[in-house]
Amino acid sequence: MTFGRRFFLIGLFLVLATGQRADEFKFPLKSNSVRFAAIGDMGTGDKPEFETSEQMNEQRKNFPFDFVLALGDNLYGGHSPADFEKKFASPYKALLDAGVKFYAALGNHDDASERFYKPFNMNGANYYSFKKGNVHFFALDSNYMDPKQLDWLQKQLESAGSNEWKICFFHHPLYSSARKHGPATDLRLLLEPLFVKYGVNVVFAGHEHIYERILPQKGIYYFTEGSSGQLRTGGLDRSSITANGFDTDRAFMLVEVADDQMYFETVSRTGKVVDSGVIQRQQTAGAAKP
Amino acid sequence: MKTRLRSASQIRSAVLMAIVVFGTAPIHASAGQDPQPQNPQTQTQQAQNPSPDLKSPGFQEFSDCVQKYVQLHKSVESTVPKLKSTNEPELIAAHQKILARKIRAARAHAKRGDIFTPAAKEAFLKAISSEFQGPQAPHAKATIKQGAPLKRIHLHVNEIYPESIPHTSVPPTMLQNLPKLPEEVAYRAVSSDLVLLDVKANLVVDYLPGVLPVEAMSGQ
């Protein structure tokens, strides 16, 4: 086989193996599906944050999502009442007014007092869980993974239904190819065994100011979306675990969980779809193919 | 639409099969999996670097001091209207401010070493040394390096933690080997200092300066 032919086939293999082609992709918009957006590292109060939220509004016309996962660094810098307004309430006003709920995780720039801010739906806790349809969400505080939180997570995962999706979200990515920080391997040592044992399906994180989709690791899908306000242009150093990535503009994710399939689309500030695909719910832990 | 997708899926399967037959499989066989860090428990045993004794006199003394502080915290908090989830950040800020002011007044003479006593310091140094010299050290150091702040910040006992300064994660594996804390307080890594923070009042309760490895801060 010639080098060119082999190269072409490898490329084709990667496209086919890592998800549907963008031109095939379409959200099913099923009546009983769970639809949400995911944003991370957004709380700057600067123009790009506003522009990204405007694009979220725009996308919501065709993809009516009900809630948003905020993956941490919800407020950079100060945490005065004016900061809450400038960096969250104002940029997301249209979504909040439309009844879209936000569920926040704490990042390293967040203050613990944010958990009492009602629009973040943390109910005073820095880690919590909630259910939507057939999806069980677990919001973790990756700044402070003490034994108490680990015990809580284990019990929560243990009691979660075997037929529901288990989605964890927190700030520090367990897997990452970004140049700035890299993966939180210390955290991975503690969390991954639980994720594998109890069949966590998908994990969302932020912290790195890029978007990256990771090839399944031990059967689990990992996404990093830390560019919804901040951006580190060229910050992604694609590696053998990168399925797809985007590091040239702000972005956010749109997700629909319909029965046993999770449809996702990553959209840039300008409305360009930079990644999309469909994930089949793993029937048992570690079942997803790398 | 469904039919088209199914047929696309069949074509994809056929092409995938063809590619495997043409011999690209070995290229992918080892790709796509990140090198896994070893389990710290196993590593610790291998390195004959036993976990710190959480019942050591130093840690016991620390836990007793923490309990006394938390009693004071609770006593002060009982005089402040209870904070519930609210749409008004003004209420959150006011609650934190009042709580901090009252706690500061209640322990006006607090000084460094009140909680991290000499005996406690010794126990913590042992635990930190075990963490940062054991086989899990690269992961713990990476955690410190990942976060911010990494530049030197001068903290003061009984003062507000600067709100614009981000937190560095305390290495999670280290947290498993330190005394458990009540919900009112938490450990924080701030540059090379280990801090005991009142998370509700955002107050520095006490800190151990320069105990986290300096080399972890380099290159930032």
DSSP chain B: -HHHHHHHHHHHHHHHHHHHHTT-HHHHHT-S-PPPPPPHHHHHHHTT-PPP-TTSHHHHHHHHHHHHHHHHHHHHHTTSPPP--BS-HHHHHHHHHHHHHHHHHHTTT--TTSSS-HHHHHHHHHHHHHHHHSTTHHHHHHHHHHSS--S-----TTSBPPTTSPPBPPPHHHHTTS----TTEEEEEETTEEEEEETTTTEEEEEETT-S-GGGGTT-
**Residue of B132, B130, B148 whose CA lies nearest to B140:** B132
Q: What are the residue boundaries of the structural domains of chain A, listed by start?
A: 33-280
Rg for chain B, CA atoms, rounded: 25
Residue ranges, chain A, pLDDT below 50? 1-22, 286-287, 289-290
Tens of pLDDT, residue by residue over A16-64, are 444 444 457 899 999 999 999 999 999 999 999 999 999 999 999 999 9
**Cα–Cα distance, A74 to A45 (Å, whole number):** 10
Contacts of A145 (CB under 8 A, 6+ apart): A187, A190, A191, B169, B172, B175
Chain A hits for B166, CB-CB cut-off 8 Å, are 108-109
Give the up-direction half-sphere exposure of residue A179: CA atoms within 13 A in the CB hemisphere: 9
| B14 close to A (CB below 8 A) | no
**Cα–Cα distance, B180 to A9 (Å, whole number):** 54
User: What pLDDT is attached to residue A9?
Assistant: 47
**Cα–Cα distance, A79 to A76 (Å, whole number):** 8
Whether the bond between B162 and the residue before it is cis, its omega within 30 degrees of 0, is no
User: What pLDDT is attached to residue A133?
Assistant: 97
Rg for chain A, CA atoms, rounded: 18
**Cα–Cα distance, A282 to A255 (Å, whole number):** 17
User: What pLDDT is attached to residue B170?
Assistant: 86
Q: How many CB atoms lie within 10 A of CB A123?
A: 12
> In chain B, whose CA is at the least distance from the CA of A193?
B39
> Is A175 in Cβ contact with B34 (below 8 Å)?
yes
> Is B169 in Cβ contact with A144 (below 8 Å)?
yes
* The amino acid at B37: P
**Residue of B106, B49, B57 whose CA lies nearest to B77:** B106
User: What pLDDT is attached to residue A162?
Assistant: 86
Chain B hits for A189, CB-CB cut-off 8 Å, are 37, 39-40, 136, 139, 172-173
Tens of pLDDT, residue by residue over A84-114, are 999 999 999 999 999 999 999 999 999 999 9
> Is A9 in Cβ contact with B143 (below 8 Å)?
no
User: What pLDDT is attached to residue B23?
Assistant: 30
- Give me the phi and psi of B60, to 5 degrees please: -65, -40
Q: Check if the beta carbon of residue A18 is closer than 8 Å to that of residue A241.
A: no
**Cα–Cα distance, B72 to B106 (Å, whole number):** 8
User: What pLDDT is attached to residue A49?
Assistant: 97
Structure tokens at A32: 């009983």
Q: How far is CA A189 from CA A31, A272, B33, in A?
A: 39, 36, 15
Chain B hits for A117, CB-CB cut-off 8 Å, are 85-87, 89, 92
**Cα–Cα distance, A70 to A67 (Å, whole number):** 10
Query: How many pairs of residues across A and B have Cβ atoms under 8 Å apart?
Result: 157
pTM for this model (two decimals)? 0.85
Q: What are the residue boundaries of the structural domains of chain B, listed by start?
A: 52-217
**Cα–Cα distance, B55 to B70 (Å, whole number):** 20
Chain A hits for B27, CB-CB cut-off 8 Å, are 10
Select the CATH number that applies to the domain covering A33-280 from these four: 1.10.287.70, 3.60.21.10, 3.30.360.10, 1.10.10.10: 3.60.21.10
Chain B hits for A81, CB-CB cut-off 8 Å, are 88-90, 93
| B219 close to A (CB below 8 A) | no
User: What DSSP line would sit under B15-49, residue for residue?
Assistant: HHHHHHHTT-HHHHHT-S-PPPPPPHHHHHHHTT-
DSSP class of residue A138?
E
User: What pLDDT is attached to residue B34?
Assistant: 74
**Cα–Cα distance, A237 to A5 (Å, whole number):** 26
**Cα–Cα distance, B134 to B51 (Å, whole number):** 10
Of A20, A144, A217, the CB nearest to B34: A217
Q: How far is CA A188 from CA A76, A250, B52, B123, in A?
A: 25, 26, 22, 26
CA A231 remoteness from chain centre: 16
User: What pLDDT is attached to residue B89?
Assistant: 96
Q: How many CB atoms lie within 10 A of CB A78?
A: 16
Of A17, A24, A81, the CB nearest to B93: A81
CA A287 remoteness from chain centre: 21
Q: Along the 220 residues of chain B, how does pLDDT read in single tens digits?
A: 333 333 444 444 444 444 333 332 222 333 477 766 655 444 433 344 456 678 899 999 999 999 999 999 999 999 999 999 999 999 999 999 999 999 999 999 999 999 999 999 999 999 999 888 877 788 888 887 776 555 667 889 999 988 777 777 788 999 999 999 999 999 998 888 999 999 999 999 999 998 988 654 433 2
- Distance in Å from the first CA to the final CA of chain B: 52
How close B97 gets to chain A, by Cα (Å)?
Answer: 11
Chain B hits for A187, CB-CB cut-off 8 Å, are 143, 169, 172
Contacts of A128 (CB under 8 A, 6+ apart): A122, A139
User: What pLDDT is attached to residue B163?
Assistant: 74
Of A6, A77, A113, the CB nearest to B164: A77
Of A10, A79, A146, the CB nearest to B175: A146
| B81 close to A (CB below 8 A) | no
Q: For an interface test with A, which of B21, B169, B212 has the most A Cβ atoms less than 10 Å from its Cβ?
A: B169
